[in-house]
Amino acid sequence: MTSNRWFIDSETGELSDVLLCPPDNYTWIPSNDIAIQTMAKGARIDRAALAAQFGELVSALEGAGVACHFLQPRAGMPYQVYTRDSSQTTPWGTVVTRLMRPERRAEEGEIRTFFQPDEIWKSASQGHIEGGDIHIIRPGLVVVGVTGGRTDEAGAREFLGWFEAAGWTTRMIRFPEHFLHLDVIFTMVTENLAIAAIDVLDDEDLDWLRGQGIRLLPVSYKEAMRDMGCNVLALGRDRVVSPRHSVRINEMLRAEGLTVIDPELNQFSQGGGSIHCMTMPLRRASLVTG
């Protein structure tokens, strides 16, 4: 029996608790195409700016009424700051995922230290699956991105099987591996509204998403890869956290009536991750009413 302490049944219910990790040991490493391009240009991390940007994100979340919880940063875990990947909150408790990259596998230990044993519902045991590829869209509907890299078909099938057993509608969305995770090219921003790199996602997947009543706002390839423009965090109640440098996207979201909170996060986006990657929602208000 798992604890009810942590719960989400959507990407857009009002967020009350989130898991982060301070960037004490964060560094850019050539493990993804975005970081490789950044490093090839001779860019270097500004550690003072890095710490300030993380602090700005925490302040923004707390200012929006979100309780921030933190993993203990460990030496030798350069991407532990991207807490999205190492676990996944569900309606039934936490799933410990199965990270693909060797330099990230040790993150599982810190996840198991943070959560109480009765808070862990399942542990992935097949292939690989990472939280950045998992999108619990709303109660009864979940998708998993599959590249064959960070998340492969075996990992996706095991995870989706648990939801199918509960009667949920599921789908695998396939795309090229250099995009890393689904949240680089698709993210919900409020109920039934998402931003997406529509020139990347297959037409069949776009049609399926629209068939589920989800309206898609277009993000370009350059915005997705250069700016991590899709990598935003919905807070619920028509609020979203989006990087300050995503100027056009933020204007587009505001035109939809959303409140956009825009901390500066370019030290993280240049390494291949942004707000969505850096946050694992622990508790959201359920979208089920009545």
Q: Are the beta carbons of 158 and 125 closer than 8 angstroms? A: yes
What is residue 52's predicted lDDT score, i.e. its pLDDT? Answer: 96
Contacts of 84 (CB under 8 A, 6+ apart): 130, 131, 132, 183, 276, 277, 278, 279, 280
Burial bucket for residue 211 (CB in 10 Å: 0-12, 13-18, 19+) = exposed
CATH architecture under which domain 15-284 falls: 5-stranded Propeller (3.75)
pLDDT, the chain, mean: 94
Task: Please count the other Cβ atoms lying within 10 Å of the Cβ belonging to residue 61.
Answer: 23
Q: What is the DSSP letter of 115?
A: S
Band of the pLDDT at 267, cuts 50, 70, 90?
A: confident
Instruction: Tell me: pLDDT of 134 over 90.
Output: yes
The tokens describing 232, both together, are 């935003």
What are the boundaries of each domain within the chain?
15-284
What is residue 36's predicted lDDT score, i.e. its pLDDT? Answer: 66
Band of the pLDDT at 34, cuts 50, 70, 90?
A: confident
**Residue 8 and residue 92: Cα distance in Å, rounded?**
8
Q: What is the DSSP letter of 32?
A: S
C-alpha neighbours within 13 Å on the C-beta side of residue 228? 31
Instruction: Tell me: pLDDT of 55 over 80.
Output: yes
Instruction: Tell me: pLDDT of 2 over 60.
Output: no
Terminal CA-to-CA distance of the chain, rounded, Å? 25
**Residue 63 and residue 54: Cα distance in Å, rounded?**
14
Q: Are the beta carbons of 49 and 270 closer than 8 angstroms? A: no
pLDDT, one tens digit per residue, over 173-184 is 999 999 999 999
Which strand ranges, in their side-by-side order, compose the sheet holding 141-146? 134-138, 141-146, 169-174
- Sort strands 215-218 and 134-138 into parallel, antiparallel or unpaired: unpaired
pLDDT, one tens digit per residue, over 175-212 is 999 999 999 999 999 999 999 999 999 999 999 999 99
Instruction: Tell me: pLDDT of 148 over 80.
Output: yes
Q: Are the beta carbons of 190 and 240 closer than 8 angstroms? A: yes
What is residue 3's predicted lDDT score, i.e. its pLDDT? Answer: 57
Q: What is the DSSP letter of 278?
A: T
Q: What is the mean pLDDT of residues 235-255?
A: 97
User: Nearest-5° angle of CA 48, CA 52, CA 57?
Assistant: 150
What is residue 268's predicted lDDT score, i.e. its pLDDT? Answer: 83
What is residue 270's predicted lDDT score, i.e. its pLDDT? Answer: 74
**What are the counts of helices (DSSP H) followed by strands (DSSP E) for the chain?**
8, 15
Helix (H, G, I), strand (E, B) or coil at 19: strand
